[in-house]
Chain A
Amino acid sequence: MALLTVSGLRKDFGGLRAISDLSFELMPGEILGLIGPNGAGKSTVFNLITGFIPPSAGEILFEGKSILNLKPSAVVKKGIARTFQVARPFRNLSVLENVVLPALLHEPSRPRAEAKARALLERMQLAAKSGTNAADLSLSEQKRLEIARTLATDPKILFLDEPMGGLNPSEVEDACRLVQRIRQDGITIILVEHHMKAIMAISDRLIVLHHGVKIAEGIPQDVVRNRDVIAAYLGKRAA
């Protein structure tokens, strides 16, 4: 059974239809890539599912139950965590505190939450920076901190919004390995990414959005040969 079922999802911003009639399923343990040209509505899909903006129509089922109209904090408690496209750490708090906060969600005892946070920072190779202010981290460190922060909430599904944006090639490789390791821990992943090589390599399945409409879905090798997809990215003549 699907872990997450999205059906007939629609979002209108005033007269602009950002997402129209989007349906898809997310299977337990898979890595699903969400791609599309700029402005296709990928981040909007994330915001709709994680409760940051309310949909105009449609249904979202998580483990068979509707999570429609829940607050973002309630969605997180159910087990769906997200990162932001531009990393948004608690800038004036220490790196450790950034991860302790989400750990407190399921672990009210502070020492145990702290132990959990330290273990996660170790895994993200941020242990040496625990005492630093989050604002002083490099971009790639901030991205890893953001992932550590979401993992601390014990998610079943992780929504990664451009985890590789702005990283250099060797950092992208590290990020790919990291995403795969997270999946091995039993966490289902859906990610938005512009780095085509990376997303082709790690996704089991791709969904392509264009102007808020799903134009293709399938395994990466098939999707990139799809005429509609090539037309969306490169123009009709190229297809």
Chain B
Amino acid sequence: MTRILAAAGIALLLVAPLLTGNTFYQHLMIMVLFSTLLGTSWNLLGGFAGQVSFGHAAFLGVGAYTTMLFYLKLNLSPWLGMLAGGGLGALFALPIGLICFRLRGPYFSLATLAVAEIVRLVALNWEQLTNGPVGLLITTLPQISIAGRAIDWESKIPFYYLVATLAVLAMTLIYAVSRSRFGAYLAAVREDIDSAEAVGIDSVRVRVLALALSAFVAGVAGGFYALYFRYIDPDAVFAISLSVEMVFIAVVGGLATTAGPIVGAVVLVSVAEVFRERFAAGHLIFYGLFMMLVIRYLPEGIWGRLRLLFRFAQG
């Protein structure tokens, strides 16, 4: 069943951009997959390990700046830079995890919020490195060709396939984790930290590892953001609203599920666009109302509910 769903999903992803020549719709598809990447990153830590982070934009931002700076200052390939962004995001997460996982429950969440704000302020004020509030801009991306044909970075299609690949890889990673011993340990830590310790699970190590993996995915997503928009500034990539969006995607889709974030991303990006068009300036009010309804009536998320119904139907 999982395989059929996965194969159908990948087939759909392959043909989706060819169905429309409208670049706005192509942009929306890219945003859906970018959001999937974010939701997947957050879900690994928040869903599977049960450690709610309100500051995940910190890792996204570190990845975005790493990619930009590697290209602009060191002239490294931005595609390698994107990987480096993930690596640096994970590296940056290690000390944060070692410090913050001494805190439990709401205190951990508050600490992550503080970390994201600190990083944003550093990026705003460290002007020699980050250009401060002015931000960083890439005018042209280096040429690469596949099978003799130069890739046209002015088109949306190459970005679509890039982010689709990243999203599929991230979901594969989550799926593998959820079925591994490490995944079982995450579930134990989510359920009860003391009990996890009592059966020999090093709860700090397990959580730090989950955070690092999660930060890696967020960092790569940040790198993609930088290359796709070709412009970043601290308020864009370190924004609290971005951190909160990551939480929403995972929660609306389904905590601790593999497919949840992509479902959440499709729903939230569509809903946001429809509301923006329909209600203009008031759209956030309706977006908020929508969120409240989902949390009240679908606490296990859309995909989480579907999965329950499916299991129920199977008996």
Contact surface of A with B, Cβ cutoff 8 Å? 50-52, 71-74, 76-77, 81-82, 84, 88-93, 97, 100-102, 104-105, 108, 110, 149-150, 152-153
CA A97 to CA B188, docked complex, whole Å: 9
Q: Which residue from B181, B187, B195, B201 sits with its C-beta under 8 Å from A84?
A: B195
Docked Cα-Cα span, A213 to B239, in Å, equals: 56
Give 5 pairs: A residue, B residue, CB < 8 Å, sorted on A: A71-B204, A89-B195, A90-B188, A90-B191, A101-B185
Tell whether, in the assembled complex, residue A71 and residue B197 are in contact, meaning their CB atoms are under 8 Å apart: yes
A50, A93, A153, most chain B CB atoms within 10 A: A93
Nearest-neighbour CB distance to chain B for A79, whole angstroms, equals 10
Q: Report which of B191, B192, B200 forms a contact with A73, defined as CB distance below 8 A.
A: B200
Cβ < 8 Å to A, chain B residues 186-207? 187-188, 191-192, 194-204
A-B pairs with the 10 shortest C-beta distances?
A102-B199, A72-B197, A76-B200, A90-B191, A105-B200, A73-B202, A88-B195, A73-B197, A73-B200, A101-B188
Q: Does B80 contact A (CB under 8 A)?
A: no
B184 touches A101 (CB 8 A): yes
What are the residues of chain B within 8 A of A149 when measuring CB–CB? 198-199
Which residues of chain B come closer than 8 Å to A91, judged between CB atoms?
191-192
Q: Which residues from A are CB-within-8-Å of B196?
A: 73, 90, 101
Determine whether the beta carbon of B191 is less than 8 Å from that of A93: yes
Query: Could you tell me if A72 and B188 are in contact, using CB atoms closer than 8 angstroms?
Result: no
Q: Are A92 and B202 in contact (CB under 8 A)?
A: no
Give the complex CA separation of A74 and B195 in angstroms: 13
Q: What CA separation (Å) do A52 and B200 show in the bound complex?
A: 12
Which residues of B in the span 169-193 have a Cβ within 8 Å of any Cβ on A? 181, 184-185, 187-188, 191-192
Residue ID in chain A nearest B187 by CB atoms? A93
**Cβ–Cβ contact B201 & A101, under 8 A:** yes
* Residue on A nearest B181 in the bound complex, by CB: A104
With A91-B191, A93-B191 in contact, do A152 and B199 touch (Cβ < 8 Å)? yes
Known A84-B194, A105-B201; further 9 A-B contacts with Cβ < 8 A: A71-B204, A73-B197, A73-B202, A77-B200, A88-B198, A89-B195, A101-B199, A105-B199, A149-B199
Name the distance in Å between B94's Cβ and chain A's nearest Cβ: 18
- CB contacts (< 8 Å) of B195 on chain A: these are 84, 88-90
A82 to B199, CA, bound (A): 8
Residues of A contacting B203 in the complex (Cβ-Cβ under 8 angstroms):
73
Report how many residues on chain B are interfacial, defined by Cβ distance under 8 Å. 18
Say how far B188's CB is from chain A's closest CB, in angstroms. Answer: 5
In the complex the two chains form, what is the Cα distance from A153 to B196 in whole Å? 12
CA distance A51 to B198 in the complex (A): 9
Nearest CB of chain A from residue B182's CB, rounded to whole Å? 10
Chain A residues whose C-beta falls within 8 Å of the C-beta of B202 in the assembled complex: 71, 73-74
Q: Which of B184, B187, B203 has the most CB of A within 10 A?
A: B184
Contact status B194-A52, CB under 8 Å: yes
Q: Which of A102, A108, A150, A152 has the most CB of B within 10 A?
A: A102
- Residues of B within 8 Å of A51, CB to CB, are 197
A152 to B185, CA, bound (A): 15
Chain B residues within an 8 Å CB radius of A82: 198
Q: Mark B201-245, 1 if CB is under 8 A from A, else 0.
A: 111100000000000000000000000000000000000000000
For residue B194, which residues in chain A have a CB less than 8 angstroms away from its CB? 52, 72, 84, 88
Write out the residue numbers on chain A whose beta carbons fall within 8 Å of the beta carbon of B185.
101, 104
- Give every chain B residue within 8 A of A90 (Cβ-Cβ): 187-188, 191-192, 195-196
Interchain CA distance A170-B203 in the complex, whole Å: 37
Decide: A150 and B198 in contact? CB cutoff 8 A. yes
Q: Mask for B33-70, Cβ within 8 A of A = 1, else 0?
A: 00000000000000000000000000000000000000
- Name B179's closest neighbour in chain A (CB-CB): A110
Look across to chain A and name the residue whose beta carbon is closest to the beta carbon of B191.
Answer: A90
Question: Which of the residues B181, B184, B187, B198 comes within 8 Å of A72, measured between beta carbons?
Answer: B198
